[in-house]
């Protein structure tokens, strides 16, 4: 997902940090998500491959978000660093809705799991070239996922005999070993995340390209509209489910073909 950009002056505060206290809302969301996953597993609605996919999806989402903050830091904004978001600790990035509840509900619906982590805070005014660097900071997220997919593909080729890779590609089967399954599904998860986040619709990263062409005087109105578009990409996927599935099938098939 797009990072949590804002245009204020930012800056640190001298107030001491309060100890993290989970809100009642978050506790309810986590409980509901856990209950859905327990239901799916106990009723055999999801198999081991879907469970592995979900487990590799979470770190892929987190690395996606971290990349936003790292590139923003390189362009002059240290907001994410000061917020403690340039860390691999999943607790700093997990969003109860996007990382747990939405994937759980989508798994229940049978259309596959998608999600997001807590957006990384970025102060666009601190970027050396705000409008141009904002696009780069946004697009580095899906580019990170595509780079991870390439890495997983390379590892899959190294660890899996060619005859097995050909069977996986031609027959639609999963690799026989747990290591092969984790690597292969991690590659697919990153391909899906990369394509998903390139949808040119707020709040996804692809919207940054459209935003670049919006006149500066109209940006305040655009930013006020963004919160109301949070779930629009998921709605579009549900409405155009067949087209979305066909697109992902083509991309995954192309990626799998490179591994043979």
Rounded to 5 degrees, what angle do the CA atoms 177, 183, 185 make?
95
What is the reported pLDDT for 15?
39
Rounded to 5 degrees, what angle do the CA atoms 27, 99, 205 make?
135
- Ordered mean pLDDT values, 10 residues apiece, the chain (260 residues): 47 40 70 77 80 87 93 95 89 78 69 74 91 93 96 96 91 88 95 91 86 83 82 84 90 92
Residue 211 appears among annotated catalytic residues: no
Catalytic residue of the set 65, 211, 221, 243? 65
Those residues whose C-beta lies under 8 Å from the C-beta of residue 152, and which sit 6 or more positions away, are 183, 184, 186, 187, 190
What is the reported pLDDT for 58?
84
What is the reported pLDDT for 19?
45
Those residues whose C-beta lies under 8 Å from the C-beta of residue 250, and which sit 6 or more positions away, are none
Q: Which residue do the tokens 């904004």 mark?
A: 77
Q: Which residue do the tokens 């005014």 mark?
A: 125
What is the reported pLDDT for 203?
81
> Beta-carbon neighbour count of residue 38 at 10 Å?
11
CA pair distance 142, 61, nearest whole angstrom: 10
What is the reported pLDDT for 259?
93
pTM score: 0.83
What is the reported pLDDT for 76?
95
What is the reported pLDDT for 3?
60
Phi and psi at 199, nearest 5°, equal: -60, 125
Tell me if 192 sits within 8 A of 248, measured CB to CB. Answer: yes
Alpha-carbon dihedral sign for residues 48, 53, 59, 62: negative
């Amino acid at each position: 997902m797009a990072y949590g950009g804002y245009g204020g002056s930012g800056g640190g505060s001298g107030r001491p940090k309060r100890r993290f206290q989970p809100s009642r809302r978050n506790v309810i969301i986590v409980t509901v998500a856990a209950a859905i996953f327990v239901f799916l597993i106990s009723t055999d609605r999801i198999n081991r491959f879907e469970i592995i996919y979900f487990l590799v999806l979470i770190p892929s989402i987190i690395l996606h978000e971290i990349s936003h903050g790292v590139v923003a830091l390189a362009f002059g904004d240290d907001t994410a660093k000061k917020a403690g978001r340039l860390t691999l600790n999943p607790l700093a990035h997990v969003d109860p809705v996007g990382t747990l509840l939405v994937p759980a509900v989508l798994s229940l619906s049978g259309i596959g799991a998608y999600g997001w982590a807590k957006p990384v805070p970025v102060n666009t005014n601190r970027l050396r070239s705000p409008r141009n660097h904002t696009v780069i900071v946004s697009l580095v997220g899906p580019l990170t996922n595509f780079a991870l997919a390439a890495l997983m593909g390379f590892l899959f080729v190294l660890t899996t005999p060619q005859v097995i890779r050909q069977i996986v590609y031609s027959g639609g089967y999963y690799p026989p070993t747990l290591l092969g399954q984790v690597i292969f599904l991690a590659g697919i998860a990153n391909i899906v995340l990369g394509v998903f986040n390139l949808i040119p619709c707020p709040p996804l990263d692809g919207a940054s390209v459209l935003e670049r062409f919006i006149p500066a005087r109209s940006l305040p109105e655009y930013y006020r509209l963004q919160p109301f578009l949070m779930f629009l990409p998921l709605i579009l996927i549900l409405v155009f489910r067949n087209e979305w599935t066909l697109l992902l099938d083509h991309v995954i098939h192309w990626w799998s073909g490179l591994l043979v």
